Structure 1
Amino acid sequence: MASIKDVAAAAGVSVATVSRVLNDHPSVSADARTRVRAAVEALGYRPNAVARSLRTHETRTLGLVISDVLNPYFAHLARSVEEEARALGYSVIIGNADERPDLQDHHVRTLLDRRIDGLLVSPTDGGSPLMLDAARAGTPMVFVDRWIAGVDVPVVRADGRAAVHDLVAHLYALGHRRLAIIAGPAATTTGSERVEAFRVAMGEYGLPLPDAYIGQGDFQAESGRRATERFLDLAEPPEVVFAADNLMALGALDAIRARGLRIPDDIALAAFDDIPWFVHTDPPITAIAQPTAELGRAAVHALVDRVEGRPPESVTLPARLVVRRSCGEPPVAQAPTAQPSPLQRSKS
């Protein structure tokens, strides 16, 4: 492999001149610049990024720790982050936490040891001492999708509360009254926010949400299957199962089909986190969609602002309801318009 000395010898210039050309320094003559670039091309020279980072204290590398790389939502988010970072001149190293706090901290520690310029994290829980220490130490960091309450770090996320309200309004308009939810982990902000939004929306429509209709999941398919089996074993099963993420919806779908039940004739199914394969199920699944690509791009820009000394800003984008046919909708359904709840109508 050619070294910078080889390039200098081939171009007939000093090592310092080669370095100036590689760093676009204006003090190099046009002739010397041409000879150096020709030598670089002929020898196939590639600058040593590690050595450069030791000199400049920059690696042009960002770290991304996502909650679960097998979750299509996070896979899409990671792709968006990588594409936007590359467009801005940064590389991305990705760590998969697999919804495990210990594995999350392992990746965070490894990335910090590699001298990354900044860190994007979707926290698996709300109290990682390592991330708290990193944030307090001034590590450029941005939370994406999830966040840790009380930590002074910019957050880029989607607000799904209005979309959850729209879903409950939609189900109510279809005649459904017994609605159940498979909630995500209470230790995650998205897990607690979605179940609370569902509870509030149910209350606005005068619908009860008994404990038996709240299944505790962990954003994995198996937990969705187990929770749905418990719902189906009730003396009065719910009419609708709302899974608070796509993998738990997949588990719910498996449990329903294993009982020989039909969607939506026997029980309806809806999900948070719309993904491409939802349109290919029979029937297609009604879901709440997050602006995943936009979140990834916004997270990269917030982190690069922090890395490059500009004040970063938190970003909150709206989620939206995508109506299909898994809840008893007619074959061609339009997105529902906002309707006042029965309780609101009685006050008017």
Structure 2
Amino acid sequence: MASIKDVAAEAGVSVATVSRVLNDHPSVSADARARVLAAVEALGYRPNAVARSLRTDQTRTLGLVISDVMNPYFTTLARSVEEEARALGYSVVIGNADERPDLQDHHVRTLLDRRIDGLLVSPTDGGSPLMLDTARGGTPMVFVDRWIPGVDVPVVRADGRAAVRDLVSHLYGLGHRRLAIIAGPAATTTGSERVEAFREALAEYGLPLPDAYTGQGDFQAESGRRVTDAFLDLAEPPEVVFAADNLMALGALDAVRARGMRVPQDIALAAFDDIPWFVHTDPPVTAIAQPTGELGRAAVRALVDMIEGRPPQSVTLAAHLVVRRSCGQPAPTPSEQPPATNRSLS
């Protein structure tokens, strides 16, 4: 990654002159200004990185790039980030990537140009060169919920493996044996990790996960509808559809209802990422809940530690299963049977 000295050498000027150009100081000649800007362009140097390295003050502003503002999980996450940042004396500027890597990088560039003090990101994929450059360039950065393997920044996330095992145990106890999953994008850590956890949990019960029962979604409702339709068209459709996020679960529910089928009588449904809406659906949806608020608060604390010179800590919290009625209900034990009603025949 080019440095300010590289720009100065390329333009044939001093480092101080580069700094004045990038800060729009009027004392630089037109010729020197043109040479510096040409060098910046040729070397791909980021002016905001220069400004950050030279300034002694802080903007007291954090950047947050979330994967999808329409997803209630990320809305809750953003709210907790904003609340914790405000409590620590920082403001937050939010960018919505809409699950698109190009929009993610656009927001990251924009936030860096606004001279934020640090950056929180939930990456939409694992292949962004900009993320690598930003981390290596010294920008304080924390990954939240998702992360990019090999990028050396703190990660604040939830571990859902135990909760997925609890879900499979619950489903097995209800008598379900044909379990399918609507997976998230394999390029995201959460997408690949949830499929792996589901497969491992099934194996513990001697259950397979056939290719036909693994549908590729994109964390959007439409993909949940599409994949569920494909499951229901199989000669032997699954007994359970597990959606790896809440929006895909809502899409799955739409697909089931569009066929006049009932949950859980005709097919069971479960989701990763619990949301308030799930208690209001009919039936309420069984889901794996993440400690979303605490994740947001922990991510802010880790980032502020970096900004203020304290050693940051990665944080892993546990997700947990919330059982509702969308997968069926266990048969009551004798002690749970309703009392017999004595009626007179007279």
Is the partner of 1:200 in helix, strand or coil? helix
Question: Per-residue CA shift, 1:185-227, capped at 9, x if unaligned?
Answer: 0000000000000000111100011000000000000000000
Residue 83 of structure 2 is matched in structure 1 by 83
How far off its partner does 1:127 sit?
A: 1.3
- Structure 1 residues 231-270: aligned runs within 5 Å: 231-270=231-270
Residue 158 of structure 1 is matched in structure 2 by 158
Is the partner of 1:299 in helix, strand or coil? helix
| Unmatched segments (≥5 aa) in structure 2 | 1-53, 334-346
Residue 299 of structure 2 is matched in structure 1 by 299
- Structure 1 residues 72-111: aligned runs within 5 Å: 72-111=72-111
Is the partner of 2:202 in helix, strand or coil? helix
How far off its partner does 1:332 sit?
A: 9.4
Residue 125 of structure 1 is matched in structure 2 by 125
Cα separation, 2, equivalents of 1:227 and 1:75: 25
How far off its partner does 1:57 sit?
A: 2.8
How far off its partner does 1:292 sit?
A: 0.2
Q: What CA RMSD, in Å, does the superposition of the two structures yield over aligned residues?
A: 1.5
Task: Tell whether 2:210 aligns with 1:210.
Answer: yes
- Is the 1:154–1:302 contact (alpha carbons within 8 Å) kept by the matching residues of 2? yes
Instruction: In structure 2, give the amino acid aligned to 1:180.
Output: A
Task: Tell whether 2:136 aligns with 1:168.
Answer: no
Cα separation, 2, equivalents of 1:296 and 1:244: 20
Is the partner of 1:146 in helix, strand or coil? coil
- Structure 1 residues 58-69: aligned runs within 5 Å: 58-69=58-69
Residue 190 of structure 2 is matched in structure 1 by 190
Question: Per-residue CA shift, 1:229-278, capped at 9, x if unaligned?
Answer: 00000000000000000000000000000000000000000000000010
Cα separation, 1, equivalents of 2:128 and 2:332: 46
How far off its partner does 1:329 sit?
A: 1.5
Instruction: In structure 2, give the amino acid aligned to 1:164.
Output: V
- Is the 1:325–1:331 contact (alpha carbons within 8 Å) kept by the matching residues of 2? no
Is the partner of 2:157 in helix, strand or coil? strand
Is the partner of 1:116 in helix, strand or coil? coil
How far off its partner does 1:74 sit?
A: 0.1
Residue 70 of structure 1 is matched in structure 2 by 70
Residue 225 of structure 1 is matched in structure 2 by 225
Deviant stretches of 4+, over 3 Å: 330-333
Residue 32 of structure 1 is matched in structure 2 by none
Instruction: In structure 2, give the amino acid aligned to 1:162.
Output: A
Instruction: In structure 2, give the amino acid aligned to 1:261.
Output: M
Cα separation, 2, equivalents of 1:139 and 1:128: 16
Instruction: In structure 1, give the amino acid aligned to 2:163.
Output: A
- Is the 1:256–1:262 contact (alpha carbons within 8 Å) kept by the matching residues of 2? yes
Residue 286 of structure 1 is matched in structure 2 by 286
| Unmatched segments (≥5 aa) in structure 1 | 1-53, 334-348
Question: Per-residue CA shift, 1:78-98, capped at 9, x if unaligned?
Answer: 000000000000000000000
- Is the 2:174–2:330 contact (alpha carbons within 8 Å) kept by the matching residues of 1? no
Question: TM-score scaled by structure 1?
Answer: 0.79
Residue 47 of structure 1 is matched in structure 2 by none
Residue 115 of structure 1 is matched in structure 2 by 115
Is the partner of 1:261 in helix, strand or coil? coil
How far off its partner does 1:56 sit?
A: 3.8
Distance 1:332 1:121, change over 3 A: farther
Cα separation, 1, equivalents of 2:101 and 2:332: 43
- Is the 2:168–2:201 contact (alpha carbons within 8 Å) kept by the matching residues of 1? yes
Instruction: In structure 2, give the amino acid aligned to 1:156.
Output: V
Instruction: In structure 1, give the amino acid aligned to 2:269.
Output: L
